[in-house]
Amino acid sequence: MNRQTLLTHANVVLPDGVAENSAVLIDDGMIVAIDPINSGMATVIDLSGRLLMPGMIDLHCDALEKEVEPRPNVHFPLNFACSQADKRNAMAGVTTVFHALSFAHQEFGVRNNLFAAEIAHAIHDWQQYAQVENRVHARCEITDASAPEILAELIDKNEVHLLSFMDHTPGQGQFKDVAAYRSYLAGSYKKTEEELDNLLQSKFANLQGTTELIGQLARKAKAHGIPLASHDDDSPERVGVMAELGVSISEFPVNIETARTAKYRGISTLFGAPNVLRGASQSGSMRALDAVLKGVADCLCGDYSAAALLPAVFKLAELGDFELQDMVALVTCNPAHAAGLPDRGEIVVGKRADLIAVQHLGGLPQVEHVWVRGQAVFSTHSNMMPCYSKQSGQQEGVSLC
């Protein structure tokens, strides 16, 4: 069986620029050459001028929760939800996804400890059938004293790949005041006034005394090589506290000063691609565009929409004085570095052949083909099988025209 594939006539996004009319040789799931002199009997696929870039790496996407619970208290089977999320990520060009699951003790719909743990198990079980690499990003609400024990069990089972600490207590972070918090829960999760009163009372009561539990969980995660993240940091002081825990990723810092502090301390910053497309944060925090323009954004994530990643990259390239490869890095090599995945995220010899071919249609960049470890997992074309010359037995190019 021929393991080699040669992708030809592509505009290839390399770390330092875009190589026009270039070729990439894949062998046994790895990139083995760029513009090879001899490709032997490789299967040839003619990309006909499409853009070839690394597969995207999404460190924070909670869309799976909506696949599980499309409406409040309406649940799909978990294997069905995982399969649908997997397909959606492949179509979006995401080849490594960290599904963000909240462990928040029944605070937000499916975002309770036992249900979130079941989803984590389901992600792990479904991976053997998956098109892309599905990982678990466990989000620990620090006011939930019962979450660390459950998360520790998942860590021991190697079912957590990224752990973040979040605090949705009103008055800081995402929710600037109690009214904003109550409005969000009442609208999104249909909480009654009595439920909201009890929840708020519990959150404020539990805010004290969780430091040691969180510290223990952080140490356990680090011992297992799991990267740590913080969520909605709103001050340099908060960044400092998180840094002491060993956090290496700051998700959605709410203002420029906080983002700058994170960068200064060597912490990667993460912003939402939907924020870029919409031109604003849904919670009134800083615009992701401003973070990129001011040089304090390291990574973009899908947040609630994996499909937003690719158009956000091109929108940034158009709006700012940026090189395309630098914007592509926000969704490829930068998140790979932040998550401790040095084997992917760049079109470089020796890296994994996680690749996507992109064409602009109707003013939007569209993913036309996806390879994961060199295997084709998604295509919008029906003529992707290699052709052979009956006279010579040599493989002819497969064209995407």
Closest CA to 106 of 55, 149, 134, 72: 72
> What's 360's domain CATH number?
2.30.40.10
> What's 73's domain CATH number?
3.20.20.140
Examine the domain organization and report whether 33 and 170 are in the same domain. no
Q: pLDDT at position 202, please?
A: 62
Mean confidence (pLDDT) of the chain: 88
Examine the domain organization and report whether 68 and 21 are in the same domain. no
Q: Are 68 and 81 in contact (CB under 8 A)?
A: yes
Q: pLDDT at position 233, please?
A: 94
Per-residue pLDDT for 352 more than 80? Answer: yes
Examine the domain organization and report whether 353 and 286 are in the same domain. no
Q: pLDDT at position 104, please?
A: 81
Per-residue pLDDT for 391 more than 60? Answer: no
Per-residue pLDDT for 185 more than 80? Answer: no
Which residue would you say has higher pLDDT here, 160 or 212? 160
Examine the domain organization and report whether 327 and 386 are in the same domain. no
Q: pLDDT at position 159, please?
A: 98
d(CA 39, CA 243): 48
* pLDDT range class, residue 181, cuts 50, 70, 90: low
The whole-number average pLDDT for the span 12-29 is: 97
Examine the domain organization and report whether 17 and 164 are in the same domain. no
Per-residue pLDDT for 330 more than 80? Answer: yes
Q: pLDDT at position 15, please?
A: 98
Cα dihedral across residues 312, 318, 320, 325: positive or negative: positive
- The pTM for the full model equals 0.87
Examine the domain organization and report whether 9 and 88 are in the same domain. no
Cα dihedral across residues 216, 217, 222, 223: positive or negative: positive
Which pLDDT tens digit goes with each residue over 80-93? 999 999 999 999 99
Which residue would you say has higher pLDDT here, 107 or 344? 344
Q: pLDDT at position 385, please?
A: 45
Which pLDDT tens digit goes with each residue over 145-168? 888 999 999 999 999 999 999 985
Per-residue pLDDT for 210 more than 60? Answer: yes
The whole-number average pLDDT for the span 115-123 is: 96
Examine the domain organization and report whether 116 and 177 are in the same domain. yes
Which residue would you say has higher pLDDT here, 170 or 121? 121
Which residue would you say has higher pLDDT here, 98 or 320? 98
Both tokens of 219, joined, read: 């140490």
Q: Which of 288, 312, 338 delimits the end of a domain? A: 338
Examine the domain organization and report whether 218 and 306 are in the same domain. yes
| Partner residues linked to 26 by β-bridges | 5, 31
Q: Are 4 and 27 in contact (CB under 8 A)?
A: yes
Q: pLDDT at position 396, please?
A: 47
Range of the domain at 395: 4-54+347-399
Q: pLDDT at position 386, please?
A: 45
Examine the domain organization and report whether 71 and 38 are in the same domain. no
d(CA 179, CA 141): 20
Per-residue pLDDT for 337 more than 50? Answer: yes
Q: pLDDT at position 214, please?
A: 87
The whole-number average pLDDT for the span 21-46 is: 94
Q: pLDDT at position 138, please?
A: 97
Per-residue pLDDT for 220 more than 90? Answer: yes
- Report how many domains make up the chain: 2
Examine the domain organization and report whether 334 and 224 are in the same domain. yes
The whole-number average pLDDT for the span 174-191 is: 58
Examine the domain organization and report whether 361 and 252 are in the same domain. no
Which residue would you say has higher pLDDT here, 374 or 106? 374
The whole-number average pLDDT for the span 262-278 is: 96
Q: pLDDT at position 395, please?
A: 45
Exposed e or buried b for every residue in 108-141, given b needs 16+ CB within 10 A? bbbbbbebbbebbebbbebeeebbbbbbbbbbbb
In percent, the amount of the chain with pLDDT more than 70 equals 82
Examine the domain organization and report whether 68 and 144 are in the same domain. yes
The whole-number average pLDDT for the span 299-322 is: 94
